[in-house]
């Protein structure tokens, strides 16, 4: 049994970030420093961790960043006014509003307010539409873009492959499916999206050459749902209770990793698979936004 089958997201993300270093140096030589604003609303602990990691990635690369932390009770109008100021700030090439937002704020209105050419998250309707149309001039969401890059740099052939995506969220599932069904070199797959309304998810999973789990159910994918030799990508970040852990909880993915790894051909570790790629793609989108603005 070959258990040396990990797709190492940390190493691949480091390669990507090293490649970006040269592009950032070229921008700086022209007097342009890429800049990214983070907006975080409330005290969601996971959002704090994610934004902190993104800030660190900016600092490590020499990307300017600033973070706006707003109270949970802020009105939608106040948040939109801040976004308009950030849209107008020429030091900033990207504006990112960390999800989730409080319930009284309409997420779709927020994402439609960030200018499409600063929408490094790829959530603005114009960028979502461009992704559907196969128009690569837009920004694409970082997590699915990172997974596509992981597959490409791990020489996983997607041409004609059966891909099953578990989850239909706007951040991962839907854009992932849209990317991999495009008629292009590193896509051209037959994509099935499964979700809570799917009748026999296990039967779909067992047909998959590439199985992408992004529905947010702890250790949902079991060994008997995976075709031997399949490529398994675990996007899940789920906190579960664990009496043996010091904090009383631990993080698990959407894949029962220990059981699935021996069946899979290749598999992402979690952590250390998709997460680092999401951040690397955010940095790439920000550098690209700065390059386009500097043209």
Catalytic residues: 54, 98, 121
Whole-angstrom distance, CA of residue 247 vs CA of residue 244: 9
Residues 6 or more apart whose CB falls under 8 angstroms from that of 51 comprise 38, 40, 67, 98
User: Which C-beta is closer to ligand GUN: that of 9 or that of 263?
Assistant: 9
Tokens 């461009």 sit on residue: 130
Q: Among residues 96, 105, 114, 255, which is the contact residue for ligand GUN, using CB under 6 A?
A: 96
Site residue total, ligand GUN (CB under 6 A): 9
Biggest CA-to-CA distance, the chain: 57
Q: Distance of alpha carbon 249 from its chain centroid, rounded?
A: 24
Residues 6 or more apart from 184 whose CB is under 8 A from it?
134
We find the least distance from the C-beta atom of residue 38 to ligand GUN, in angstroms, to be 8
CB of 222 to ligand GUN, least distance (A): 25
**Which of 6, 74, 80, 99 lies at the binding interface for ligand GUN (CB under 6 A)?**
99
Among 121, 149, 234, 254, contact with ligand GUN (rule: CB under 6 A): 121
Residues in CB range of 111: below 8 A, 6 or more apart: 97, 119, 121, 123, 124, 125
Query: Using the rule CB under 6 A, is 254 a contact of ligand GUN?
Result: no
Would you give the binding string for ligand GUN spanning residues 140-169, x where CB under 6 A is met?
--xx--------------------------
Site for ligand GUN, rule CB under 6 A = 96-99, 121, 142-143, 171, 278
């Amino acid at each position: 049994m070959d258990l040396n089958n990990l797709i190492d997201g940390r190493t691949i993300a480091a390669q990507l970030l090293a490649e970006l270093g040269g592009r950032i140096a070229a921008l700086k030589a022209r007097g342009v420093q890429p800049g990214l604003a983070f907006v975080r609303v409330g005290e969601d602990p996971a959002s704090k961790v994610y934004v902190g990691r993104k800030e660190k990635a900016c600092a490590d690369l020499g990307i300017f960043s600033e973070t706006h932390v707003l109270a949970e009770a802020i009105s939608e109008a106040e948040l939109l006014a801040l976004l308009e100021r950030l849209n107008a700030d020429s030091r900033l090439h990207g504006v990112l509003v960390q999800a989730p937002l409080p319930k009284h704020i309409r997420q779709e209105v927020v994402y439609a307010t960030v200018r499409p050419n600063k929408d490094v998250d790829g959530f603005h309707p114009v960028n979502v539409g461009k992704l559907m149309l196969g128009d690569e001039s837009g920004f694409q969401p970082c997590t699915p873009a990172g997974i596509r890059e992981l597959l490409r740099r791990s020489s996983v052939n997607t041409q004609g492959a059966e891909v099953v995506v578990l989850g239909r969220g706007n951040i991962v599932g839907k854009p992932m499916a849209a990317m991999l069904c495009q008629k292009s070199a590193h896509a051209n797959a037959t994509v099935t999206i499964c979700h809570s309304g799917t009748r026999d998810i296990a039967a779909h999973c067992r047909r998959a050459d590439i199985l992408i789990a992004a529905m947010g159910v702890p250790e949902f994918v079991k060994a008997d749902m995976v075709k031997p030799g399949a490529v398994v990508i675990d996007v899940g970040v789920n906190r579960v209770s664990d009496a043996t852990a010091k904090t009383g909880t631990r993080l698990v993915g959407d894949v029962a990793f220990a059981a699935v790894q021996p069946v899979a051909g290749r598999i992402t570790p979690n952590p250390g698979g998709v997460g680092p790629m999401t951040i690397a793609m955010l940095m790439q989108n920000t550098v690209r936004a700065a390059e386009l603005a500097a043209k």
